[in-house]
């Protein structure tokens, strides 16, 4: 990533919970298309995320959402410009959520300069390895978007 030398993309999810794996799937796809982008597939707690963005200017986080929107809807949020509602990424595997990590980091002054959140609306979060059809389609949309983001 030349122009945004200090950018990291973090895909979050649980690979065994169907649509919850979307963040991981996006990260894996991006990795297969580009080997010079810093990409992390992450399945742990929110608190550790703060360590993952230390030292980077720009962070992109991709995770599943369950907000009641149409499945496959892609939500985007600029986390530096606005507070992240606790309901964003509310389908979180962990007690300490992504939104909480970002807001705690804001208060202890550990946010990067830029932070883009991409939430993909899921519909099936049962144990399983497959994405639902609308989420599978959104996967392609987000990968294409982030590949061009990479070149921006």
Residues in touch with another protein (CB under 8 A) = 14-17, 42-45, 47-48, 50-51, 86, 91-96, 100, 103-104, 107-110, 125, 127
Q: Rounded to whole angstroms, how far apart are CA atoms 83 and 93?
A: 21
Closest approach of another protein to the CB of residue 87, in Å: 10
Closest approach of another protein to the CB of residue 71, in Å: 17
**CB of 7 or CB of 21, closer to another protein:** 21
Interacting residues of 88 by C-beta distance below 8 A, sequence separation 6+:
65, 67, 75, 77, 98, 99, 117, 119
**CB of 43 or CB of 71, closer to another protein:** 43
Closest approach of another protein to the CB of residue 114, in Å: 21
Q: 39 pairs with which residues across the strands? A: 9
Q: If you count them, how many residues does the chain have?
A: 152
User: Residue for token digits 């959520």?
Assistant: 97
Closest approach of another protein to the CB of residue 60, in Å: 19
**CB of 22 or CB of 150, closer to another protein:** 22
User: Which of these, 96, 73, 145, lies nearest to 116 by C-alpha position?
Assistant: 145
């Amino acid at each position: 990533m030349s122009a945004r030398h200090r950018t990291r993309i973090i895909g979050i999810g649980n690979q065994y919970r169907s649509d919850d794996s979307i963040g991981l799937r996006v990260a894996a796809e991006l990795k297969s298309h580009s080997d010079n982008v810093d990409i992390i597939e992450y399945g742990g707690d929110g608190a550790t995320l703060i360590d993952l963005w230390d030292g980077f200017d720009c962070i992109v986080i991709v995770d599943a959402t369950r907000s009641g929107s149409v499945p496959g809807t892609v939500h985007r949020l600029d986390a530096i410009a606005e507070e992240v509602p606790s309901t964003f990424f509310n389908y979180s595997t962990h007690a300490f959520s992504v939104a909480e990590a970002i807001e705690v980091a804001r208060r202890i002054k550990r946010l990067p300069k830029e932070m883009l959140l991409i939430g993909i609306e899921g519909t099936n979060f049962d144990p399983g390895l497959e994405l639902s059809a609308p989420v599978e389609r959104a996967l392609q949309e987000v990968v294409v978007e982030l590949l061009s983001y990479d070149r921006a």
